[in-house]
């Protein structure tokens, strides 16, 4: 009976550790603007890199971009990426 109790406590401890490890990952976003969508994407990526390094986190996975017309002739893009600390 004691071994079953120890096994149950061990499983709960490992499950709690796995949840805590996942909780450290978030989705980070940054915005960039430029005359063309390519420039706006590049500025958004640079701002995202600065944001991630400022948080002391590491990037994980691909970057997702969403662009829309901005003020006057500018294009505004948002870059999003999963980051883990």
Residue 24 DSSP one-character state? T
Strand duo 58-69 + 75-84: pairing: antiparallel
How far apart are alpha carbons 37 and 28 in whole angstroms?
A: 20
Reported as a single tens digit per residue, the pLDDT across 9-40 is 444 443 444 445 555 999 999 999 999 999 99
Q: Are strands 25-34 and 58-69 parallel, antiparallel or unpaired?
A: unpaired
Does residue 76 have a pLDDT over 90?
Answer: yes
End-to-end CA distance of the chain: 40
Which pLDDT score, from 0 to 100, does residue 5 have?
Answer: 40
Determine the 3-state secondary structure of 7 from DSSP: helix
Tell me the whole-structure pTM to 2 decimals: 0.70
């Amino acid at each position: 009976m004691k071994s079953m109790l120890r096994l149950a406590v061990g499983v709960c401890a490992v499950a709690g550790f796995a949840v805590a490890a996942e909780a450290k990952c978030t989705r980070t976003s940054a915005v960039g603007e430029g005359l063309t969508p390519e420039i706006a994407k590049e500025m958004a990526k640079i701002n995202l890199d600065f944001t991630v390094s400022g948080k002391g986190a590491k990037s994980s996975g691909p970057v997702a971009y969403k662009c829309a017309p901005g003020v006057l002739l500018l294009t505004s893009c948002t870059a999003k990426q999963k980051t883990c600390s």
